[in-house]
Amino acid sequence: MVPNSPTTGETPRPDPVVLVVEDDVLIRVATAQYLRGSGFEVLEAVSVDEAVRILQANKAVRVVFTDVRLPGTRSGIDLLDIVRRDFPHARVLFTSGFVGADELADKGVTFIRKPYFLFEVERHIKALLAEPS
């Protein structure tokens, strides 16, 4: 339960929850830390299987920021299909240093090429959150 604000009596809105799915620990930690500093609650995963477990346990995830290439047998594209089928309230933002926006164009998703500036990630997440559900 979120307590009432002592000054206004209103219930403060919880921070939007973002799931960062990235197998490179340095990129994942830096991105998560930046997003937390920008006012997001951030969860982290290294694979599609871990991301799905987190999504099942935390229905508040609003944006999944994922690399296309991930360890294991499933990719970020597979994660997109799972999110769209099982978690339609969540949006997906892609990144990759290998796959380009052209390869993802038919999926209708937002893409940021690596290396990226962290403010770009924040801007794209805010834009996705502003879209109607």
**10-14, 59-63, 74-78, 121-125, range with the lowest pLDDT:** 10-14
Summarize pLDDT for 41-69 with one digit per residue, the tens: 999 999 999 999 999 999 999 999 999 99
Question: Over 50: is that where the pLDDT of 5 sits?
Answer: no
According to CATH, the topology of domain 17-130 is Rossmann fold (3.40.50)
Write out the DSSP string of the chain.
-PPPPTTT-PPPPPPPEEEEE-S-HHHHHHHHHHHHHTT-EEEEESSHHHHHHHHHH-TTEEEEEEESS-SSS--HHHHHHHHHHH-TT-EEEEEESSS-HHHHGGGT-EEEESS--HHHHHHHHHHHHHS--
Summarize pLDDT for 67-93 with one digit per residue, the tens: 999 999 999 999 999 999 999 999 999
pTM for this model (two decimals): 0.88
User: pLDDT band for position 2 (50/70/90)?
Assistant: very low
